[in-house]
């Protein structure tokens, strides 16, 4: 699922993508399964974006709550406080909107 908070029709302040596990799946399989989806959301274009770098970073860090990185005007964060081990969430926040 993806959600966003916009300042206006051309300025997004926050994008959140999340994956929730249904059924019995190991934590490793959850991370491996969610990484491609979250990495796709990291490629959303913006001025100064680097889609390949963002995608590679998410794939490498999807199972590391609290991991962060900044690319130009976007701050990427793997949810530092997951509500449970059954979900993975990526936040992309406009620098200055935190």
Q: pLDDT digit of tens for each residue in the chain (98 aa)?
A: 666 565 665 677 888 888 887 777 777 777 788 899 999 999 998 889 999 999 999 999 998 889 999 999 999 999 866 666 678 889 999 888 76
How far is 98 from 79, CA to CA, in rounded Å? 14
Give the pLDDT confidence score for residue 51 in this predicted structure. Answer: 95
Q: Per-residue DSSP letters for 43-68? A: T---TT--HHHHHHHHHHHTT-TT-E
Which ranges in the chain belong to alpha helices (H)? 27-41, 51-61
Helix axes 51-61, 27-41, angle to 10 degrees: 170
Q: What integer pLDDT is reported at residue 43 of this predicted model?
A: 94
Write down the domain spans for the chain: 22-85
């Amino acid at each position: 699922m993806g959600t966003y908070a916009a300042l206006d029709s051309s300025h997004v302040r926050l994008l959140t993508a999340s994956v929730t596990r249904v059924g019995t799946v190991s934590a490793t399989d959850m991370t491996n399964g969610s990484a491609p989806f979250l990495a796709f959301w990291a490629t959303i274009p913006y001025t100064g974006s680097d889609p390949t770098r963002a995608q590679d970073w998410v794939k490498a860090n999807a199972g590391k709550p609290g991991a962060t990185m900044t690319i130009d005007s976007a701050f990427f964060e793997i949810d530092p406080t997951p509500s449970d081990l059954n979900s993975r969430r990526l936040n992309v926040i406009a620098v200055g909107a935190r």
